[in-house]
Amino acid sequence: MSIRTVTFDAVIVGGGGAGMRASLQLAQSGFKTALISKVFPTRSHTVSAQGGITCAIASSDPNDDWRWHMYDTVKGSDYIGDQDAVEYMCSVGPEAVFELEHMGLPFSRTEEGRIYQRPFGGQSKNYGEGGQAARTCAAADRTGHALLHTLYQQNVKHNTQFYSEWLAVELVKNAQGQVCGVIALCIETGEVVFFKSKATVFATGGAGRIYASTTNALINTGDGMGMALRAGVPAQDIEMWQFHPTGIYGAGTLVTEGCRGEGGYLINKDGERFMERYAPNAKDLAGRDVVARSMMMEILDGRGCGPNGDHVLLKLDHLGEEVLHSRLPGICELSKTFAHVDPVKAPVPVVPTCHYMMGGIPANIHGQALRLSAGHDGDDQIIDGLFAVGEVACVSVHGANRLGGNSLLDLVVFGRAAGLHIEDALRQGMTQAEPSTDDIDQAMARMRRWNESDKGDSVTDLRKELQQTMQNHFGVFRKGDLMAEGVKKLADLRERIAGAHLTDKSNAFNTARIEALELDNLLEVAEATAIAAEGRTESRGAHSRYDFPDRDDENWLCHSIYDPLTKQLGKRAVNFAPKTVDTFQPKVRTY
Amino acid sequence: MKVSIYRYNPETDREPWMQDYEVDTGGKDLMVLDVLALIKDRDSSLTYRRSCREGVCGSDGMNINGKNGLACITPLSEVAPGVLEGKKPLVVRPLPGLPVIRDLAVDMTMFYNQYEKVKPYLINETPAPAIERLQTPEDRAKIDGLYECILCACCSTSCPSFWWNPEKFLGPAALLQSYRFLADSRDQATTERLGHLDDPFSLFRCRGIMNCVSVCPKGLNPTKAIGHIRSMLLERAV
Amino acid sequence: MVTSVTSLGRNGLSDWLVQRVSAYLLAIYAIGLMAYLLCNPGLEYAAWHALMTSVPMQIINTLVVFSIASHAWVGLWTVTTDYLTGTQMGSSATGIRLVVQTLLVLLILVYVLWGLVMIWGGA
């Protein structure tokens, strides 16, 4: 089967913050760039980010230092964030944030006219010695929306070529293992096209939809990670899933950590501010993993709220109507809509909810995707032609637990860095890896499989089963035997998904086909998560095990590397060699 | 409850038709999007766009019992009296005035084209400082109620002037966006922007009937923004 | 920017202004006339005739005729460009619109001239 081929210097898959920051960089330099997005770019999940973008721009505190931000991030990562990458992100951050402001991002302002910064969890001054910092740059509580629309506007200005509502289906790689581009499906017409390019950038975001309860958009199905795993690219630290402390109970929609930054706090059924017990200093602004676990402990100890005692409350009314309406207008709207509660009058019911994938495609600070050379503990090897930025990438700046406000920074810093690197590489004559007809045909196999299916389970049922399995077996607290059972269930699901049935085979805007293709991706990410979670025999950051309750630096002060071909878990060293500052040595992590 | 949905598949249907479904909501005050999802679980061919499911991405604008809105933040109780109780059907159609691709998904090209025409980006030719450009909280407050637009097209597709001249009249969404930059103290292209708006169509087709205001799911007021632009034009020309 | 050669002022702002100003003028005229009639219950033809042939009133009436004409043209032009368009009636729309607009302009001109004759024609 032959398909139409279009050729570009660079193809970016994903129209969220990271993808559009990368495409902007390339469009500005005049290279032939396409951006493929399965939704119109401003509908990407970046739009839902609320609280802000953390960065030491020294507005709220003129003495703020990016090294303090770096310290917080390394500590937050439970010491498996790569220190050279964290150093890069925190030091380049201010430049990237100022660029956004120059592009027109409508940040909230201080009386001095500078960008408004609010306190967020895990932030400190002077390497943890100077108390709470306020380092998260905000546009009210709609920072992601403001950021995404600003980037889209700049891409419009610079004439980026958008392929909106096109779903990337599969990577095309040749016999040498080089990436030559992607196969993508036009959702409107059903046409399948080979996008051939020198650089293929995955900016496909997370996969929160592997869980039944998530703050993530319905589109967050891990398409990039899924494609990568099927192409034999490993996943790093994929067991590390952040559960956000404040998802609205029942609905799963997010209320920002900025609520607690502005002075809100969590209470149990006795009205007690319980975080004072778990984190005496930072209290409600401890790391997200710490707060989420504390909430679960309260609930498990019978101090949860509601008739089933299965959630806690976020108290905001003491902040007053004026603060709530000026600083947190979106939150007031959301909690009225989804919790039927006006935060001005009553506390909001919340529960830890799956939020962010810390793991992903291993990548360096230029966004180049990596695999390990022979054996699992080998050296890094760059995968020609493939790049990963944003949530799908694991650079790794977040390690085992991401700090609030660091994801938006990650997007713009590494979207930009990848753009800059590719620009440079193209100038120096980066070559196009050539695929054979067979290589392209192989990438079409999955499309064909679904199109030829004539019986089997329904996509919806399988998806729900998968999500429930992940929810029950790989949640906030994990246990060896329960996880082993989960891994078995996923193996069974893999077989049934391979034989599942796509009933609607029409071409025009066939969302049933899209959901089927997404299910394959969910499965890849879920299985990688499950095997990696079972394999990491310690508790670190967001990965918390009953059977291994302590951090084990002797064996696990490293990245986990899941190899999709063997389904084995390997290890990769964490970088402890920042270029301009001294290494932050692992310490016991308390807030 | 009974749900009546506009169906059209260009590959099999010569004309659009309404399909009725019986849905068991258990009496719960679900969002319209949840109801659509329940139907899609049974009939995977039902087509609609959705993404964030919390009213910030703007994917699922549709016409619900005659009024445009976002399915994900429209509870059954707010659709019309009697819908939640099952006494009246829930009627869902695509956004009016734009070509239908399939079922509830419309072709939004015309809408996006109008958005792009207003140069929806900050224009400031002075070299940027090493830090951010300063802006007072008062100046920043002037773009509140403007920058929050999510491009869901509920407003423009409820506007008769946009229905009649979707290529010439910019529509409320694009005009709101235009004013967002006119009102931004950092933008320097006021003259250029206004110069593109004073013909008889682009802006002046607005008759101030305020359909846009009554449907905006984010509570924004495009009519007011259009009024502000008109005042700026007047100030410049008189 | 959409160019238009058939609208009154070729410019949206001036059309808009003309429509608003003429509307105010017509409103004031109507109210004034009504008040005059109410204040003069037993009005005779002679008094009415004298009023209408006084120079100030002739000038006012002329303004009113031009106001009605321009107001009508802006409105009717809008109606034709709303409903007599390609979206509504396909490829023949432009031709139909041009013919209708020409007829309307001529009709309005006839009314204007007729009005002027009535106001300034003496007798």
Rounded Cα gap, residues B36 and B70, in angstroms = 12
Same domain, B11 and B101: yes
From chain B, the residues in CB contact with C84 under 8 A are none
Residue of chain B minimizing CA distance to C74: B200
Sorted by sequence, the CB contacts under 8 Å of residue B68 that are 6+ apart come out as B61, B62, B95, B96, B154, B155, B157, B158, B215
Name the phi and psi angles at A587, rounded to 5.
Answer: -130, 170
B1-8 mean pLDDT: 97
Residue C96 Cα distances to A587, C85, C93, angstroms: 82, 9, 5
A9-18 mean pLDDT: 98
Higher pLDDT, C42 or B100: B100
Which chains have 3+ CB pairs within 8 A of B? A, C
Task: Kindly determine whether residue B57 and residue A156, on different chains, have CB atoms separated by under 8 Å.
Answer: no
Same domain, B127 and B147: yes
A459-473 mean pLDDT: 96
Runs of H (alpha helix) within A375-510: 406-427, 437-443, 445-452, 459-473, 480-498
Confidence of residue A375 (pLDDT cuts 50, 70, 90): low
Q: Is A159 on the interface with B (CB under 8 A)?
A: no
pLDDT tens, residue by residue, A98-130: 999 999 999 999 999 999 999 999 999 999 999
Q: Which CATH number is B71's domain given?
A: 3.10.20.30
Mutate to test the interface with B, among A24, A46, A98, A101 (most CBs of B within 10 A): A101
pLDDT at res. A452: 96
Chain C contacts in chain B segment 91-120 (CB below 8 A): none
Same domain, B153 and B199: yes
Q: Is B209 on the interface with C (CB under 8 A)?
A: no
Same domain, B219 and B127: yes
C21-27 mean pLDDT: 97
* CATH of segment(s) C12-120: 1.20.1300.10
Which chains have 3+ CB pairs within 8 A of A? B
Q: Is B60 on the interface with A (CB under 8 A)?
A: no
pLDDT at res. A318: 96
Same domain, B101 and B112: no
Name the phi and psi angles at A503, rounded to 5.
Answer: -80, -40
Is the model's pLDDT at C1 over the cut of 80?
Answer: no
Same domain, B82 and B139: no
3 state SS of A559: strand
pLDDT at res. C122: 65
Last residue of a domain, one of B82, B105, B128: B105
Residues A288, A416, A545, A589: which is the catalytic one?
Answer: A288
CA distance B79 to chain C (A): 30
pLDDT at res. A377: 62
A333-349 mean pLDDT: 94
pLDDT at res. A2: 74
Given a contact cutoff of 8 angstroms between Cβ atoms, the answer to whether B118 and B63 are in contact is no
CA distance B73 to chain A (A): 7
Mutate to test the interface with B, among C5, C8, C13 (most CBs of B within 10 A): C13
Residue type, C21: V
A209 annotated active-site = no
A457-477 mean pLDDT: 96
Q: Which CATH number is B183's domain given?
A: 1.10.1060.10
In degrees, rounded to 5, the angle at the alpha carbon of residue B63 between the alpha carbons of residues B61 and B67 is 110
Whose CA is closest to C105, among C72, C56, C62?
C72
A291-296 mean pLDDT: 96
Residue type, A178: Q
pLDDT tens, residue by residue, A153-211: 999 999 999 999 999 999 999 999 999 999 999 999 999 999 999 999 999 999 999 99
From chain B, the residues in CB contact with A112 under 8 A are 134
pLDDT tens, residue by residue, A196-222: 999 999 999 999 999 999 999 999 999
- Return the biggest CA–CA distance within chain A: 67
Enclosing domain of residue B39: 2-105
Same domain, B222 and B195: yes
Q: What's the domain count of chain B?
A: 2
Q: Please give the ipTM for the structure prediction.
A: 0.98
pLDDT tens, residue by residue, A532-562: 999 999 999 999 999 999 999 999 999 999 9
pLDDT at res. A487: 98
Same domain, B43 and B78: yes
CA distance B161 to chain C (A): 7
pLDDT at res. A301: 94
Is the model's pLDDT at C89 over the cut of 90?
Answer: no
The full set of domain ranges for chain C reads: 12-120
Q: Pick C12's closest partner by Cβ from B163, B166, B201.
A: B201
pLDDT at res. C4: 80
Last residue of a domain, one of B42, B75, B105: B105
Is the model's pLDDT at A494 over the cut of 60?
Answer: yes
Q: How many helices (H) and strands (E) does chain C have?
A: 5, 0
Same domain, B94 and B114: no
Is the model's pLDDT at C70 over the cut of 90?
Answer: yes
Is the model's pLDDT at B224 over the cut of 60?
Answer: yes
pLDDT at res. C87: 79
pLDDT at res. C86: 84
What average pLDDT is seen over chain A?
Answer: 96
Same domain, B91 and B132: no
From chain B, the residues in CB contact with A511 under 8 A are 47-48
Sorted by sequence, the CB contacts under 8 Å of residue A125 that are 6+ apart come out as A61, A64, A68, A131, A132, A133
Last residue of a domain, one of B105, B128, B145: B105
Query: Which two structure tokens, joined as six digits, stand for A199?
Result: 């650089």
From chain B, the residues in CB contact with A60 under 8 A are none
pLDDT tens, residue by residue, A264-281: 999 999 999 999 999 999
Given a contact cutoff of 8 angstroms between Cβ atoms, the answer to whether A253 and A334 are in contact is yes
pLDDT tens, residue by residue, B63-94: 999 999 999 999 999 999 999 999 999 999 99
CA distance B188 to chain A (A): 12
Same domain, B79 and B166: no
Same domain, B130 and B232: yes
Which chains have 3+ CB pairs within 8 A of C? B
